[in-house]
Amino acid sequence: MAFYSGKLTKYNSLQTYQFLRFGTVFIISILLAKIAVLYQHEYGLHLISQYENLMLVTSSLTFFWVGAISNIIIPYFNNADKETQKKILFNVFIILLVFSFVAAVIIAAMGYLESNDQTLLQMFALVVLLNTPTYITDFIYYLNGKYKQLIIWGLITFGAHILMLCVPLFFKQSLTLAINLLLVLSLLKFNFTIILLMKHATINVEKELIMDFMKKVMPIMFSILLAGSMDYINSYIVKFNFTSEEFAMFRYGAKELPIFLILANSLSNVYSGEIAKMNQLGKLNKGLSNLKQSSRKLMYWLFPSTIVLMFLSPYFFKYAYNEQLIEGYKIFNIYLLLIISRMIYPQTVIMGILKNKIFYLISSNYLIINILLSFWFIYLFGLTGIAYATVLSFIIEKIMLVIYCKMQDIPLNTYASWVEHLVFSVLTIIAYYISTITPFPF
């Protein structure tokens, strides 16, 4: 598999960078849990709950448009000529800046509604304004083949993020000071991004290019908004209906292991660009075959790893986090079942052939199904019912996308090893069932 080769390529460099990004989030969650132990029990959990609330508010306002732009920019860039490619980089930066400004204004306004976290929200609004547009730096390096620089950029910025957030808290300083330091880091990243754009991009606002790019982005944005909004809606449901301790436990449990999500999403992003290029050259079948081969290799790594993790997660939650968060492993194990839907890539094919409008319909259906299942499963299973509803809804969504690809004369066997996937899926479900009835000695 490309990710495990020794040389950085267009395939594994993006995976490695995303690993650094999501790994940072994961490391922070562990460090905050350990730092919380330094405080009295009640305040320590309050600190975690406060930080998770901050992440919930800000990410719920940014995840859908950042994700959509990240999904579209690679195939869109690959379909353009050299001169247009330089224009794309600057104009995508402008789009990110506009969206960041709107999100920052909303976050700042929400600060007035939440008296407990007013200062934090207003300060973090500035972080969002300055930091989010710097995502274009990732693609400047990646799309120009500067894979080593991309990884160095990630190591420096993500490492600095961990230090500036966690070091002040370790020395029992306020979360406000930590956010102030993140604001300084965001300003430095923003200035560096401007310098990089001056070197690699054509500095000129192209209204027609922006409009054309947004036409491609909007269906994906709508899809991600509907598909991803349930995660945030679920978190808000828990926040307003359960204790702060249960909210912190749910937020810690309702996360996929970063490396799994990174490898799956990076493969999808890379091959949507390759399929777009191959389709333009009249070699669509070759692009689909390449996707099938790479996803098959990834499947042989991730499914067995998922099964092992289902039995190790209780111990991980106990020793990586703390006693108060240990019950989160039950929710975490359910979310591990998302690997079943992650390992099929009809959405990659659809983005590659630029048939993005179908995401409007399928994502609307997904949201309705997820809401109905959430209310039903909460009644049946309680807090874990939210996780079950998410897993089942994702599977149904993938089935609908597979059907649409078939309608485009692209059957499942052209881009997925479906028999092996089915076998692995059954084994994973069996392993999950065994893990639920196995008593874990603590």
Could you report the per-residue pLDDT of 402-411, keeping only the tens digit for each?
999 999 888 9
Could you report the per-residue pLDDT of 215-234, keeping only the tens digit for each?
888 888 877 777 667 677 77
Is it the case that residue 49 has pLDDT exceeding 80?
Answer: no
pLDDT of residue 183: 94
Q: How confident is the model at residue 241 (pLDDT cuts 50, 70, 90)?
A: low
Which of 139-148, 279-288, 416-425 has the weakest average pLDDT? 279-288
Q: Which of 43-57, 128-142, 328-342, 352-366 has the highest mean pLDDT?
A: 128-142
Distance CA 257, CA 361 (A): 29
Average pLDDT estimate for 116-144: 88
Average pLDDT estimate for 226-248: 69
Is it the case that residue 113 has pLDDT exceeding 80?
Answer: no
Q: How confident is the model at residue 128 (pLDDT cuts 50, 70, 90)?
A: very high
pLDDT of residue 96: 95
Contact 303, 312 (CB under 8 A): no
The full set of domain ranges for the chain reads 2-437
Average pLDDT estimate for 346-367: 82
Average pLDDT estimate for 325-350: 87
Average pLDDT estimate for 111-117: 68
pLDDT of residue 209: 93
Contact 373, 397 (CB under 8 A): no
Is it the case that residue 243 has pLDDT exceeding 70?
Answer: no
Average pLDDT along the chain? 84
pLDDT of residue 76: 86
pLDDT of residue 141: 93
Residue 354, phi-psi category: left (phi > 0), alpha (psi -120 to 50), beta (remainder): left
Average pLDDT estimate for 305-332: 81
Is it the case that residue 255 has pLDDT exceeding 90?
Answer: no
pLDDT of residue 117: 67
pLDDT of residue 43: 56
Is it the case that residue 427 has pLDDT exceeding 90?
Answer: yes
Instruction: Convert 249-288 to b/e letters by CB count within 10 Å (16 or more is b).
Output: bbbbbbbbbbbbbbbbbbbbbbbbbbbbbbbeeeebeebb
Q: Which carries the bigger pLDDT value, residue 115 or residue 181? A: 181
Which of 67-76, 164-173, 258-267 has the weakest average pLDDT? 258-267
Q: How confident is the model at residue 258 (pLDDT cuts 50, 70, 90)?
A: low
Average pLDDT estimate for 345-356: 84
Count of residues making up the chain:
442
* Segments in 39-81 forming alpha helices (H): 41-60, 63-78
Average pLDDT estimate for 296-305: 91
pLDDT of residue 440: 66
Distance CA 245, CA 430 (A): 31
| CA-to-CA separations, 365 to 285, 335, 346, in angstroms, rounded | 29, 21, 16
Which of 158-162, 240-244, 300-304, 391-395 has the weakest average pLDDT? 240-244
What does 236-272 look like in DSSP terms, one character per residue? HHHHHHS-HHHHHHHHHHS---HHHHHHHHHHHHHHH
| CA-to-CA separations, 271 to 63, 80, 266, 349, in angstroms, rounded | 21, 17, 8, 8
Is it the case that residue 433 has pLDDT exceeding 60?
Answer: yes
Average pLDDT estimate for 305-320: 85
pLDDT of residue 98: 95
